[in-house]
Amino acid sequence: MHAVHFGAGNIGRGFVGLLLHQGGYDLVFSDVAGPLVDAVNAAERYTVREAGPGGVDHEVTGFRAINSAEDPDAVIDAIATADIVTTAVGVTVLRFVAPLIAAGIERRSSETPLVVMACENAIRATDQLRDEVASALGDPALLGRARFANTAVDRIVPAPQGGTGIDVTVEPYFEWAIESTPLADVSVHIPGAHFVDDLGPYIERKLFTVNTGHAATAYLGAQRGHERIAEALGDLSVSTAVEATLRETSAVLRAVHGFSDAELAEYRATILDRFRNPELPDTVHRVGRQPMRKLSRNDRFIGPAAMAAERGLSTDALIGAVRAALDFADTDDEQAVELQALLGAESAEVVTSRLTGLDNAHPLFAAVREAVAQRQSVLR
Ligand X SMILES: NC(=O)C1=CN([C@@H]2O[C@H](COP(=O)(O)OP(=O)(O)OC[C@H]3O[C@@H](n4cnc5c(N)ncnc54)[C@H](O)[C@@H]3O)[C@@H](O)[C@H]2O)C=CC1
Ligand Y SMILES: O=P(O)(O)OC[C@H]1O[C@](O)(CO)[C@@H](O)[C@@H]1O
Which residues contribute to the site for ligand Y (CB under 6 A)? 121, 154, 156, 210-211, 214, 287, 289
Instruction: Please identify, using beta-carbon distances, which residue of 154 and 204 lies nearer to ligand Y.
Output: 154
Closest approach, Cβ 206 to ligand X, in A, equals: 9
Give the integer Cα–Cα distance in Å for 380 and 377: 5
Scanning 48-56, 83-91, 260-268, 346-354 for contacts with ligand X by CB under 6 A, the matching segment is: 83-91
Q: What's the sign of the alpha-carbon dihedral 115, 118, 124, 130?
A: negative
Which partner in ligand X, ligand Y, none is near 214 (CB below 5 to 8 A by kind)? ligand Y
User: Does position 156 bind ligand X by CB under 6 A?
Assistant: yes
Which partner in ligand X, ligand Y, none is near 123 (CB below 5 to 8 A by kind)? none
Total binding residues toward ligand X, as defined by CB under 6 A:
26
Could you write out the DSSP letters of every residue in 269-333? Answer: HHHHHHHT-TTS--BHHHHT--HHHHTSTTSTTHHHHHHHHHTT---HHHHHHHHHHHT---TT-
**Type of residue found at 269:** A
Which partner in ligand Y, ligand X, none is near 52 (CB below 5 to 8 A by kind)? none
User: Does position 183 bind ligand X by CB under 6 A?
Assistant: no
Give the integer Cα–Cα distance in Å for 340 and 351: 10
3-state secondary structure of 65: strand
Find, among 52, 259, 299, 303, the residue nearest to 155 by Cα: 52
Closest approach, Cβ 363 to ligand Y, in A, equals: 26
Residue 88, annotated as binding a ligand: no
Cβ atoms within 10 Å, residue 42: 11
Closest approach, Cβ 127 to ligand Y, in A, equals: 18
Give the integer Cα–Cα distance in Å for 167 and 57: 10
Cβ atoms within 10 Å, residue 345: 9
Burial code of 329-342, b = ≥16 C-beta within 10 A, e = fewer? ebeebebbeebbee
Distances (CA, A) of 313 to 158, 173, 361: 34, 31, 17
Binding residue (CB under 6 A) for ligand X from 19, 79, 97, 101: 97
Interface with ligand X in residues 21-80 (CB under 6 A): 30-33, 36, 68
User: Does position 295 bind ligand X by CB under 6 A?
Assistant: no
**Type of residue found at 228:** R
Instruction: Please identify, using beta-carbon distances, which residue of 145 and 286 lies nearer to ligand Y.
Output: 286
Instruction: Please identify, using beta-carbon distances, which residue of 99 and 363 lies nearer to ligand X.
Output: 99
Please, which residues bridge with residue 66 across strands?
30
Binding residue (CB under 6 A) for ligand X from 157, 218, 326, 343: 157
Residue 40, annotated as binding a ligand: no
Binding residue (CB under 6 A) for ligand X from 18, 40, 113, 121: 121
Please, which residues bridge with residue 195 across strands?
178
Contact (CB, 8 A) for 166 and 187: no
User: Does position 102 bind ligand X by CB under 6 A?
Assistant: no
Find, among 130, 172, 133, the residue nearest to 151 by Cα: 130
Scanning 3-11, 241-249, 251-259, 297-305 for contacts with ligand X by CB under 6 A, the matching segment is: 3-11
Instruction: Please identify, using beta-carbon distances, which residue of 102 and 233 lies nearer to ligand Y.
Output: 233
Instruction: Please identify, using beta-carbon distances, which residue of 97 and 367 lies nearer to ligand X.
Output: 97
Give the integer Cα–Cα distance in Å for 244 and 321: 10
Q: Indicate left, alpha or beta for 159 from its phi (over 0: left) and psi (-120 to 50: alpha).
A: beta
Which partner in ligand X, ligand Y, none is near 30 (CB below 5 to 8 A by kind)? ligand X
Residue 6, annotated as binding a ligand: yes
Q: How many CA atoms lie within 13 A of 366 on its CB side?
A: 3
Closest approach, Cβ 65 to ligand Y, in A, equals: 21
Which partner in ligand X, ligand Y, none is near 68 (CB below 5 to 8 A by kind)? ligand X
User: Does position 217 bind ligand X by CB under 6 A?
Assistant: no
Output phi, psi for 355, to 5 deg. Answer: -70, -45
Instruction: Please identify, using beta-carbon distances, which residue of 88 and 188 lies nearer to ligand X.
Output: 88
Closest approach, Cβ 346 to ligand X, in A, equals: 27
User: Does position 213 bind ligand X by CB under 6 A?
Assistant: no
| Positions in the binding site for ligand X (CB under 6 A) | 6-12, 30-33, 36, 68, 88-91, 93, 96-97, 120-121, 153, 155-157
Q: Which residues line the annotated binding site for NAD(+)?
A: 3-14
Residues contributing to the annotated binding site: 3-14
